[in-house]
Amino acid sequence: MNAMLETSELPAVFDGVKLAAVAAVLYVIVRCLNLKSPTAPPDLYFQDSGLSRFLLKSCPLLTKEYIPPLIWGKSGHIQTALYGKMGRVRSPHPYGHRKFITMSDGATSTFDLFEPLAEHCIGDDVTMVICPGIANHSEKQYIRTFVDYAQKNGYRCAVLNHLGALPNIELTSPRMFTYGCTWEFGAMVSYIKKTYPQTQLVVVGFSLGGNIVCKYLGETQANQERVLCCVSVCQGYSALRAQETFMQWDQCRRFYNFLMADNMKKIILSHRQVLFGNNVKKPQSLEDTDLSRLYTATSLMQIDDNVMRKFHGYNSLKEYYEEESCMRYLHGIYVPLMLVNAADDPLVHDSLLTIPKALSEKRENVMFVLPLHGGHLGFFEGAVLFPEPLTWMDKLVVQYANAICQWERNKSQCSDTEQMDVDME
């Protein structure tokens, strides 16, 4: 009798185990996918001014909910992974012309130029000068998607190809792109200004490119001539502060660090003959032993310390990060500046976001936009599972640029009216 009772109780025990297992799996899924996180408009940090009020009225995306794909869109890791692996879905192939510029040190900088496909909303000639993320170029899918959308909104686009990033373009000097070198971007901007003397500029930077464009504008007031505004998306603002967080396992940053370092190693090693060859005039501090250290590097910091900082003669990693970060140049930017980050970006630690928050509290020209979701350069939109080709980020940047163009047009018209009144008097 006891045996029969024990046997009848076993299925109940197994059912309980199954239910517990299913509950545990569902709990992990809900936590990992962040399904309980709400959708909401982005948090905005800005000074109350005529410009900020105009932007809130003219940019609906600033006050509207950003709704990512239901199943996976609230996970910053999945958004970041999809951007990193896939870029974008059904990415277009805009047609452009590649331009080559010989730098003073013999390096050959390249950028791709795309003409507008429609008339601009205010009828003016406006060029977006775009700086992509780390080791990226104009052929990346997220860049192609953004460029195509900007062209259809009447913008000419010039996209910098980071030095050494294009696999089919050889280096012509022992130097690659670095975290904050603005030489190539500045050369591209100068070319655009000279070739199109009537054009005005909208400056756009993604991730590392955001650091470069902000640093470029803040280096000298002259760099801001004919610049309407600047947009920086998903940058970290201070490499010196970020280096410690990049070595932590929190939010898997150490793993992302390893993946990016591995990619950087591949790019550097693909140019090792030019960078480390015996017949090459290398920077004095760059030695053959640095190549062997490169093979064993597992973080961006090790690569920066052994190779990247030496391209420009920095004596230490600390000096390199301090000089190449845009943080010390942000206060020198006087054109309208929109800084965009995602709260769930696994690459940018929360502590780094105090930099744009503090800046927006002091400067009327700065607006900091912080949506809950989006990951690192993801910002996918969609209903349940499949994302749309165009992202929230693409639409926001163009919407902001359109608003600034209209703001400047309105200011110009007001000035003309005031001048006419003075002349009549």
For the chain, the average pLDDT equals 89
> Does residue 374 sit within a domain?
yes
pTM for this model (two decimals): 0.90
Q: Has residue 303 been placed in a domain?
A: no
285, pLDDT greater than 70: no
Q: How far apart are CA 180 and CA 182, in angstroms?
A: 6
For residues 293-299, average pLDDT: 92
More confident residue, 286 or 271: 271
Domain count, the chain: 1
The answer to whether position 284 is within a domain reads: no
Average pLDDT over residues 292-308: 91
pLDDT in tens, 141-152: 999 999 999 999
> Does residue 140 lie in a domain region?
yes
What DSSP state is assigned to residue 227?
A: E
Q: Report if residue 166 sits inside a domain.
A: yes
Does residue 301 surpass a pLDDT of 70? yes
Q: How far apart are CA 339 and CA 323, in angstroms?
A: 20
Give me the pLDDT at residue 27, please: 42
Q: How far apart are CA 149 and CA 137, in angstroms?
A: 17
Catalytic residue among 77, 137, 162, 376: 376
Q: What is the pLDDT, as a whole number, of residue 17?
A: 54
Running DSSP on this structure, what letter comes out for residue 76?
H
Active-site pick, 75, 138, 173, 207: 207
376 has catalytic annotation? yes
Report d(CA 311, CA 285) in Å as an integer: 8
Quick one: what percent of the chain has pLDDT higher than 70?
87
Clarify whether 190 is annotated catalytic.
Answer: no
Give yes or no for residue 136 having a pLDDT over 50.
Answer: yes
Is 102 domain-assigned?
yes
What per-residue confidence (pLDDT) applies to 132?
A: 98
- Is residue 187 very low, low, confident or very high in pLDDT (cuts 50, 70, 90)? very high
Q: For residue 276, what pLDDT is reported?
A: 83
- Known catalytic residue: 285? no
Band of the pLDDT at 422, cuts 50, 70, 90?
very low
Of the residues 290, 304, 305, 345, only one is catalytic, namely 345
Residue 19 lies in a domain: no
Query: Quick one: pLDDT band at residue 332, thresholds 50, 70, 90?
Result: very high
Q: Of 20-29, 143-152, 217-226, which range is least confident?
A: 20-29
Q: What are phi and psi of 13, to 5 degrees?
A: -65, -45
Task: Name the residue with higher pLDDT: 48 or 16.
Answer: 48
Q: For residue 31, what pLDDT is reported?
A: 57
Q: Would residue 244 count as lying in a domain?
A: no
Query: What is the pLDDT, as a whole number, of residue 311?
Result: 83
What pLDDT was estimated at residue 114? 98
How far is 45 from 393, CA to CA, in rounded Å?
Answer: 18
Would you put residue 186 in left (φ > 0), alpha (ψ -120 to 50) or beta?
alpha
- Residue 58 token pair: 């003219």
- E strand or H helix at 45: strand 43-46
In the DSSP assignment, the letter for residue 160 is E
Across the strands, what pairs with 368?
45, 339
| Structural domain containing residue 130 | 55-238+325-407
